[in-house]
Chain A
Amino acid sequence: MSPRRSAEGGRIDRGRTIRFSFDGKAYQGHPGDTLASALMANGVRLFGRSFKYHRPRGLLAAGVDEPNALVTVLKGTVREPNIAATQIEIHEGLTVESQNRFPSLDVDAGAVNQLAGGLLSAGFYYKTFMGPVVGPLKGTRVWMACEHFIRRAAGLGRAGRDADPDRYERMNAFCDVLVAGAGPAGLMAAKAAAEAGKRVILADLDPVPGGSAKWSGDTIDGLPAAAWAQRTIEALGTLDTVRLLPRTTVWGYYDGNTLAALERVADHKPAPDKGEPRHRHWTIRAGTVVLATGAFERPLVFPGNDRPGVMLADAAVRLLREYGVVAGSRVALFANNDDAYRAVAALAEAGATIAAIVDMRDTVSSAARALAERAGAELLAGHAVTGTKGGKALREIAVQRLREGEITGQPRKIAVDCLLMSGGWSPTIHLASQAGTAPRWDEALQAFLPPEPTQNWIGAGAFAGRFATAAALADGLAAGAKVAGGKPPRKSAQPRVEAVELDIAPAPVFEIRPPGKAGKAFVDFQHDVTAEDVRLAHREGFVSVEHLKRYTTLGMATDQGKTSNVPGLAIMAAALGKTIPEVGTTRFRPPFTPVSLGALAAERYGDLRPDRLTPMHDWHVENGATMYAAGLWYRPMIYGGRGETVEQAYVREAAATRAGVGIVDVSTLGKIMVQGPDAADFLDRVYTNKFSTLPVMKARYGLMLREDGLAYDDGTTWRLSQTDFLMTTTTANAGKVMQQLEYYLDIVWPDLKVTLTSVSDQWAGAAVSGPRSRDVLAACVTGTAVDNDTLPFMGIVRGEIDGVPVMICRLSFSGERAYEVYCGAGHGLHVWEALMEAGKPFAIVPYGLEALGTLRIEKGHVTGAEIDGRTTARDLYLDWMLSKKKPFAGSMMMDREGLCDDDRIRLVGIVALDDRPLGGGAHIVEHDDPAALRDSIGHVTAGCYSPALGKYIALALVKGGKTRHGTRAFVSDPLRKRFGPVEIVSHHFYDPEGSRMHG
């Protein structure tokens, strides 16, 4: 016989049918079913294969603690591996396959591993696969060859490589009280807090809240507990101050009472509705948290305890009362506590035969005895299950006498198709544990209870070790009243409970060890960690709880030891002759249950960073620009599109600029308004050179150092009035420089009367360069002259272009006569088009970053490739900018001996003598042997073909710098297979006197 659907009961809708498939086979279930319950109802017992030994496995649990029944959900081409069958709500068309088996779940070749059992004990891989010590196979080769196969054998489900088409969403929420868990305790706490006017969020991981009330069979306020829970939830749902979040797992407890939760919005449907995300990632900032997360039942460790058909007692109750599934027709119970007797009572009532109750305790309470009698079960007190039989489905158990911890007598065989087991309960303290301190051991409950709070939370119900429904309700009520800040609740506020009173305290025995060779007894079902593995770890000295975990992988599987933690510790404690708290427990880490990466990426999935576009962006694209990402910005690289190569395009653009006029978008430069009576003084402090002497409507090139004396950033700063400066920074450093300046003003010099405003996005800028640049401006600028007298080098004027106010500064990055034209960002495109129009008679060309780079390399101007955070002003021959008349940021640090070493790499120019390109990142060597990869004396920072010189040139940082001018060296670029002779020259390749830009 096998599991079956009960005639009535449960919250499934028997009137409707849902079709789904598992491993290609069609099945039917009902709305309300999980995959686990629906398959069980169809008589399926084999759900998966274990990790290491590929043993057949069935359902162990009914909740998130399920370690065995992991499957892959298929939606179109998208795969979602490792989902517990107990967590999947079936829907029409659901397609699921089993994992970690070949060729099929029923016939799995990997099961051969079971034969090598002793060899595959804990830590076996540390002791072998090392290969020979000498010869061609030494080193890592043998291991890697073995590893290839190990990797294929390991792993659970297979992930897909196709992009997930679904959306994910982030939600921020604030509340007075977050209640995690909507069982009896959580519901009462939420109700009490809400009735006191608090804003409450109530999150529960199940689709239908209610927790144990859904299957306890108790009566609350005269209603079946499930109905009471439903009524309470409905009442809460009518309050504006309460937000109910079903299918939502609170998984992380972060600092400042910030909690993370995952809402599975659409997993229970064939596809998300229009506009709906699949998952929603909640960040909840809660005043107080009520942790009412319940408890997990623990398995017992005995040979063959993993056979399909052996399951947790409470899981069977839940399957029956929540889903209407009877887990077996001939059932036995193996327990170390009274509480588990509820399960036999429930199953007997549903028509199952209770073959036996095997209780390892010699004496059993009268309440439990009464339940046993009513179920018609034979009660075997002082006995233990010592073995199971049945291949892929349980057929028979062996029971022996257990006397003072020793197994005695002959095994008695009992035919059963389902064995329920219970080793007592472990409170679900994971969230509390994340918040900090170590949990407390409770000897009576044989369980770890929550630690003292390090953040603002209150525990309630089974979480706090108060398991009975009445106690949980009282606890929840008290917690709710406490967070509401009111008086302790009146007794009358507490619901009346009718329930069978059973003691939950278990006997402190978790493992049964029959003498002689018995089968494997599993502690961690998913990772195939056996009791013997734990003892082996002990023998080899891996006795600290963390060593145990790491050596055996106990508790490291996807269920994170929810069921295995305490039994594993108990076995280690026994081996050490210590108590469980002396062995200790590991800290639980977030997340409580696994969380999809997509949900955590949320809106950034498919859109990692915002795009920053200049006002002229569309123009560039329309005019054939190839754009590339520079930080968050997109900038034109070249304006190609005529079948040119990149080199042809930039050479044409650069040459046209030097011959006539070119225009480039410089809107991305950082721009900061520095204003106030002390603005000039402030700039003197942060720049290496002086700005207080700068006349109004003049600009100056400035250099900043870091506090450690290395070069930081450069740019021009424009004095617009006595107290107003417009600072420009490099594109890359705009944010960092702003922040550094703010730091200085807030912290170092709070007395200075200066304000800073970032105006990078407010101004659009275009640089017009070349001998005809003045003609272009003269043709379109009104309201000011642009001749040499009115607008000399580094002069600034205000005027208009086609009705738009502009500010023009005559400065040059290209080395040609050039102007930067700034206007309000909203007018950027308009001004750009006006400049293009005015430039037409002069054959103006737009140029991109490649040409910009070419022009600057020809001039020897430095950028981020040279100011790379490791170079000093002297390394770059910018020492002329270091004022000796005043201190400035970095001035006391820039002369330290390590920064003045002769061996430092310093800026030079190089020219290729073999007429081939010099790529950025190529190295420079003195020897002429391409194969001898050694003795680098520096590297190329940026190279180009120089139309002005007719050569391939580059800037480089080379040991000795200037002292090498005129010498020969070799460029060595093995990554790009380039080697060739170069001449080291001054980095001022072109017009070193600067006559072209001043003219």
Chain B
Amino acid sequence: MAEYSLLSLLKHAWHGNRDWKPAWRKAEPKSDYDVVIVGGGGHGLATAYYLAKEHGITNVAVLEKGWLGSGNIGRNTTIVRSNYLLPESIRLYDFSVKLWEELAHDLNYNVMFSQRGILNLAHSPAQADDYIRRGNAMLHGGGDAEWLTPAEIAKKVPGVDLSRTARFPVVGGLLQPRAGTARHDAVAWGYARGADRRGVDIVENCEVTGFLREGERVVGVKSTRGEIRAKKIAVAVAGSTGRVMKLAGIDTLPIESHVLQAFVTESLKPFVDTVVTFGGGHLYMSQSDKGSLVFGGDIDGYNSYAQRGNLPVVEEVMSEMVALFPGLARVRLLRSWGGVMDMSMDGSPIITTGPLPGMYLNSGWCYGGFKATPASGWTFAWTIAKDAPHAINAPFTLERFHRGALIDEKGQGATPKLH
């Protein structure tokens, strides 16, 4: 398939754009594969891509029950960052940022990763200490971080309420310059195209309805498009993990499904240049290339598989927006939507072999999965190919909860609604 470039764009434009080919084939599923990946979202597609690219495993199918990228890869607030506290998290997410930095070239697809930085505003001395601990942890873990004074913040983010009379006055901010945003759909499409170009079959409208078993071992799937056998079955179905794993007889997991709402305003001329988070509550916002402010807050906080939330969170998030930027009171909310999150019991993901022989599981991303897409796919591919985790994802096991080896960034314990 042709490379994308300015030159090809010009050539095609000259011919009235009539000669473009599909970004990926609409593959018919074969009866047998080396690896079947259940879930055609960002993580599943990235896994397929890295299986092919890094491990030469190309006899792979990605099965997607609906349209490709219909899960959280297409519903998030597009933030990419690695401003984490715990060393396990820093290793994973910083590796991800490194992959992001090369991703457009790697995929020959502009995923529009824009390193505009993320600024976490701190509103009390205690919160500042907390953020400084995190920033220092990032620096000691090989990442990047800076501390900004309110004066520096005023310059970087005009319009933010820095008055001492604010309900939660800003005392400083933790900046990660390498963080930023990317175009979420493009990540799914870019990985799909990249995997497809390496021979992976991407099968849309193919819902897994059961697993084929030989004793304990999982040897394939039943699907709406027939039985498909595979040596290895990988599950990456954020938002549906509980449902899919029940088909394999796994009745409980350290995961609850919750709904998270996201919001965009109408399109505006450039208003804010970085990703900004408000520490007086829970709000993260940035501006898309198209001009919309894209933002979100807490999950609704109850189990849900419905991609719809309710008003209290809407009102809370808008309150925080106008507390942070009082000028935005007259800007209008254009659209809101909901995504279903796998909320794990310590707020961190699971990338592991098992839990059944022949099976591999990638889940529990809470609402931080987008930024991890490259590293999640890369480490999951490694885990599938080698039947053992890479050092980066080794701590992110399913057993860690029972063992007490938790990776709890927020320190909230087994209360998913608080992560």
Contacts and interface: CB of A to CB of B under 8 A. Distances in A.
Interface in A907-961: 919-923, 925, 933-936, 939-940, 942
A862 interface: no
B136 A922 contact: yes
Given A152-B270, A595-B332, A869-B412, A608 B326 contact: no
Contact of B330 (A78, A604, A611, A939): A78
B289 A629 contact: no
B411 A869 contact: yes
A-B interface, 7 closest residue pairs, ranked by CB to CB distance from nearest: A869-B411, A598-B329, A155-B291, A541-B22, A898-B404, A920-B129, A921-B132
Contacts of A864: 126
Contacts of A503: none
Contact of A161 (B8, B185, B327, B334): B327
Given A598-B322, A601-B318, A155 B17 contact: no
B23 interface: yes
A154 B404 contact: no
A257 B126 CA distance: 42
Contact of B112 (A143, A252, A609): A143
Contacts of A629: 123-124, 167-169
B16 interface: yes
B159 A124 contact: no
A82 B413 contact: no
Interface stretch (B50-58, B99-107, B355-363): B99-107
A923 to B, nearest CB: 5
Contacts of A899: 404
Contacts, number: 366
B414 interface: yes
A547 B9 CA distance: 21
Contacts of B132: 919-922, 973, 975-976
A68 B116 CA distance: 31
25 contacts: A126-B109, A130-B104, A130-B105, A138-B105, A143-B113, A147-B289, A154-B289, A155-B268, A156-B268, A156-B291, A168-B329, A170-B315, A536-B20, A544-B66, A546-B67, A546-B70, A589-B335, A589-B336, A596-B332, A600-B318, A601-B321, A629-B168, A896-B402, A936-B136, A976-B147
A539 B26 CA distance: 12
Contact of B329 (A140, A166, A707, A974): A166
B151 interface: no
A975 B322 contact: no
A329 interface: no
B67 A601 contact: no
Given A710-B413, A899-B404, 11 more contacts: A51-B267, A80-B331, A130-B5, A154-B289, A163-B161, A598-B322, A601-B322, A601-B323, A605-B323, A706-B413, A921-B131
Interface in B295-321: 308, 310-311, 314-315, 318-321
A540 interface: yes
Among A150, A260, A589, A865, residue most surrounded by chain B Cβ atoms (within 10 Å): A589
Interface stretch (B30-38, B137-145, B212-220, B375-383): B137-145
Interface size class of B (residues with CB under 8 A): 35 or more
Interface string A541-582: 110101100110100111010000000000000000000000
Contacts of B158: 161
Interface residues of A, number: 123
B114 A975 contact: no
Nearest to B74: A550
A435 B332 CA distance: 22
A596 B314 CA distance: 12
B184 to A, nearest CB: 9
B155 interface: no
B4 A933 contact: no
Contacts of A130: 4-5, 104-105, 108, 110
A870 interface: yes
Nearest to B202: A541
A119 interface: yes
Given A130-B105, A709-B404, A939-B136, A539 B18 contact: yes
B147 A119 contact: no
A136 B22 CA distance: 32
A707 B413 CA distance: 8
Among A79, A258, A974, residue most surrounded by chain B Cβ atoms (within 10 Å): A974
B311 A558 contact: no
Interface of A: 51, 78-82, 117-119, 121, 124-131, 133, 138-140, 143-144, 147, 150-152, 154-164, 166, 168, 170, 252, 254-255, 258, 260, 281, 283, 434, 532, 536, 539-542, 544, 546-547, 550-551, 553, 556-558, 560, 589-591, 594-598, 600-602, 604-609, 611, 628-630, 637, 706-710, 864-865, 868-870, 893, 896-901, 919-923, 925, 933-936, 939-940, 942, 972-976
B36 to A, nearest CB: 21
B105 A133 contact: yes
Contact of A596 (B68, B330, B337, B400): B330
A868 B85 CA distance: 13
Nearest to A147: B114
B248 interface: no
B386 interface: no
B413 A126 contact: no
B388 interface: no
B135 A158 contact: no
A118 to B, nearest CB: 3
B129 A630 contact: no
B253 interface: no
Given A127-B110, A159-B327, A629-B124, A923 B22 contact: no
A897 B335 CA distance: 47
Nearest to B190: A126
Contact of A606 (B23, B111, B326, B404): B326
B289 A126 contact: no
A591 B136 contact: no
B265 interface: yes
A189 B39 CA distance: 47
Contacts of A597: 265, 318, 321-322, 328-333
Contacts of A79: 330
B250 interface: no
A536 to B, nearest CB: 5
Given A82-B267, A119-B13, A260-B311, A143 B108 contact: no
A899 B346 CA distance: 14
A714 to B, nearest CB: 15
B105 A124 contact: no
Contacts of B25: 541
B74 A546 contact: yes
Nearest to B115: A140
A896 B24 CA distance: 48
B408 interface: yes
Nearest to A868: B411
Nearest to A517: B16
Contacts of A601: 315, 318-319, 321-323, 329
Among B128, B174, B267, residue most surrounded by chain A Cβ atoms (within 10 Å): B267
Among B130, B266, B336, residue most surrounded by chain A Cβ atoms (within 10 Å): B266
A342 B5 CA distance: 51
A512 to B, nearest CB: 18
B79 interface: no
A602 B142 contact: no
Interface in B171-196: 174, 180, 183, 185-186, 189-190
A537 to B, nearest CB: 10
A164 B323 CA distance: 11
Nearest to A122: B17
Given A161-B327, A589-B337, A870-B411, A154 B290 contact: yes
